[in-house]
Amino acid sequence: MSKKVKDKKSHAFSMQDKHDIGFAKKKKRHIIKNTFLAITILFFSFLIFIFSYIMGLSERKKFDPNTIKNMQQSIVLYDMDESEIGSLYASKNRRYITLDEIPSDVINAFIATEDVRFYTHNGVDIVRIFGALIEDVKSLSFRQGASTISQQLIKNAYLTGEKTISRKLQEAIMAVKLENYYTKEEILEMYINYIYYGGGAYGVEAASKRYFGKEAKYLTLPESALLVGVVKAPSIYAPHINESKSIKRRNLILSLMLNEGFITRTEYSNAIDSKLALSANDSLDFAFGYFTDLALTETAEILNLDIEEVLGGGYKIYTTLDSSLQSYTQAIYSDDSYFPANSSDNTICQSAMIVLDSQTSAIRTCIGGREYTSKLCLNRATGMLRQPGSTIKPIMVYAPAVEKRGYLPSSFVLDEIENFDGYIPKNCNCQVKFPSLWQIRFPSNCA
């Protein structure tokens, strides 16, 4: 009996020894793997240091942080009552607003998502870089970028989006110089105004107008999180492209804000339960095309600039437009019943109109044709070198009659056929059905 028990114990000890040996081998392999990983990281760190030293001097000299504020901005136009009537832009629809006009939810969402140590690093987050480097070594790729907000601003303003060591080094060097030049608040303001949010909108103000039809300062928490979520990949997360992915990304942003303590659990729950309500008017077309073209051209002449320079200059242009009257006259011009049928070659009958304020000579309405086809298209009211018709009568007929012949508004003129040395004026037998002034019912505020 004792022998059998002893054999069993010996067998048990043998199994334990094998387990210890296997564990020791696994531990040894783990140590070797970690050692190799550490050596690899040190090697890459050494390369980064060498490249930074070689490339840093030239990049630092070439980069001028002051130029980053010269970003292209949309111009905003206002009517006679100083109500906004829209914006125009060259290639980028951007409206720059200051940091105090940006909701704290937008700011906090960006920090929680893009750069949690934004206020403590000097432009480059070393902790994040080493974490990303470990992941990149494991995957043998450059999937983890580790870019700070300052680096992202540099990338969008000056560099390409390629993930290479050379480009990342340039980005890091320029980000440090950027932080030495601007405060954290200034960098955050430029970043939020610079980046692309999809739908043709650059900057949070244009994005808020594009998606929600309101100024950024009125954005709610879920709306703020959604816009921040779009920035990662507008072609994927923009709400007008893929609503479900946009909401999923929004909820991820909200969870990050909760983890960082920017919002409470109740605010988080209410936000993820909120429904997405996009603006119905997502068109970027301008409502009063002919008038705004006229205002844009005149602005360029006054400032002695090219049209493209004005379009990207961020100007606020206050005009003499009567929005109600302009809308009313455009509605008339869109009604085919007021015009003759098209000609045999299908050319439509054209018309133009300018309405002036009789007291100030301010232009209240401008219609350059029956259809507005594109920005700065032909304006028949101002660009057609043709016989002016009866519009010339106040200058060529009525004024000389008053000044030279003593006519008064109460004077009577005989209405009969006259022969001026063989020339007998006559009225044109025109079939145009356009309503005369006394037939047009103007809005009550346009009397």
pLDDT digit string (tens) for 199-219?
888 899 999 999 999 999 999
- Name the pairing type of β-strands 201-202 and 75-78: unpaired
CB burial string 292-323: b at 16+ within 10 A, e below? bbbbbbebbeeeeeebeebbbbbbebebbbbb
Nearest 5°: the CA angle 300, 303, 306 is: 40
Cα gap 311→88, rounded to integer Å? 6
- Answer yes or no: is pLDDT of 379 > 80: yes
DSSP 27-57: HHHHHHHHHHHHHHHHHHHHHHHHHHHHHHH
> Does residue 291 contact residue 319 with C-beta atoms inside 8 Å?
yes
Name the one residue in this structure whose structure tokens are 């829209």: 86
SS3 (DSSP) at 162: coil
Burial of 337 (0-12, 13-18, 19+ CB in 10 A): exposed
- Answer yes or no: is pLDDT of 430 > 60: no
Average pLDDT value for residue range 103-112? 96
Arithmetic mean of pLDDT over the chain: 79
Side chain identity at 146, as an amino acid letter? A
Kind plus residue range of the DSSP H or E element containing 201: strand 201-202
- Answer yes or no: is pLDDT of 123 > 70: yes
Average pLDDT value for residue range 83-111? 89
pLDDT of residue 38: 63
- Answer yes or no: is pLDDT of 262 > 70: yes
pLDDT of residue 395: 87
> Does residue 225 contact residue 257 with C-beta atoms inside 8 Å?
yes
Kind plus residue range of the DSSP H or E element containing 267: helix 265-273
Query: In the β-sheet with 75-78, what is the strand arrangement from edge to edge?
Result: 84-88, 75-78, 316-318
Per-residue pLDDT of 21-60, as tens digits, reads 555 556 666 677 666 666 766 666 556 555 555 554 455 5
Average pLDDT value for residue range 290-296? 91
**Weakest mean pLDDT among 58-67, 86-95, 264-273:** 58-67
Q: Would you tell me how many other CB atoms lie within 10 Å of the CB of residue 106?
A: 22
pLDDT of residue 166: 61
Average pLDDT value for residue range 183-209? 91
Side chain identity at 164, as an amino acid letter? T
- Looking at the chain, the whole-number percentage of residues with pLDDT higher than 90 is 34
Cα gap 287→285, rounded to integer Å? 6
pLDDT of residue 385: 78
Nearest 5°: the CA angle 261, 215, 85 is: 175
Q: Is 390 a catalytic residue?
A: yes
Q: Is 114 a catalytic residue?
A: yes
- Most distant pair of Cα atoms in the chain: their distance: 153
Cα gap 74→92, rounded to integer Å? 7
- Answer yes or no: is pLDDT of 174 > 80: yes
Q: Would you tell me how many other CB atoms lie within 10 Å of the CB of residue 49?
A: 10
pLDDT of residue 255: 96
SS3 (DSSP) at 77: strand
- Answer yes or no: is pLDDT of 440 > 90: no
pLDDT of residue 260: 95
pLDDT band at 427 (very low <50, low <70, confident <90, very high): confident
Kind plus residue range of the DSSP H or E element containing 115: none
Give the contacts of 297 (CB within 8 A, at least 6 positions apart). Answer: 307, 376
pLDDT of residue 28: 64
Average pLDDT value for residue range 347-359? 90
> Does residue 96 contact residue 195 with C-beta atoms inside 8 Å?
no
Per-residue pLDDT of 381-424, as tens digits, reads 888 877 777 878 888 888 999 999 999 988 888 888 888 888 88
Integer-rounded Cα radius of gyration of the chain? 35
- Answer yes or no: is pLDDT of 428 > 70: no
Per-residue pLDDT of 3-26, as tens digits, reads 554 454 455 445 555 555 555 556
> Does residue 179 contact residue 63 with C-beta atoms inside 8 Å?
no
Cα gap 272→264, rounded to integer Å? 12
- Answer yes or no: is pLDDT of 308 > 50: yes
Which residue among 83, 358, 374, 390 is the active-site one? 390
Average pLDDT value for residue range 426-447? 47
Cα-based distances in Å from 235 to 35, 197, 230, 240, 271: 41, 9, 8, 10, 24
Q: Would you tell me how many other CB atoms lie within 10 Å of the CB of residue 2?
A: 6
Average pLDDT value for residue range 147-163? 76
Which residue among 74, 87, 114, 324 is the active-site one? 114
Which range, 62-66, 264-268, 289-293, 358-362, is most confident?
264-268
Higher pLDDT pick, 293 / 139? 293
**Weakest mean pLDDT among 73-77, 117-121, 329-333:** 73-77
pTM above 0.85? no
pLDDT band at 447 (very low <50, low <70, confident <90, very high): very low
Q: Would you tell me how many other CB atoms lie within 10 Å of the CB of residue 411?
A: 10
Q: Identify the structural domains of the chain with CATH numbers, from first to last.
A: 95-273 (1.10.3810.10), 289-446 (3.40.710.10)
Side chain identity at 36, as an amino acid letter? F
Token reading at 167: 């480009």
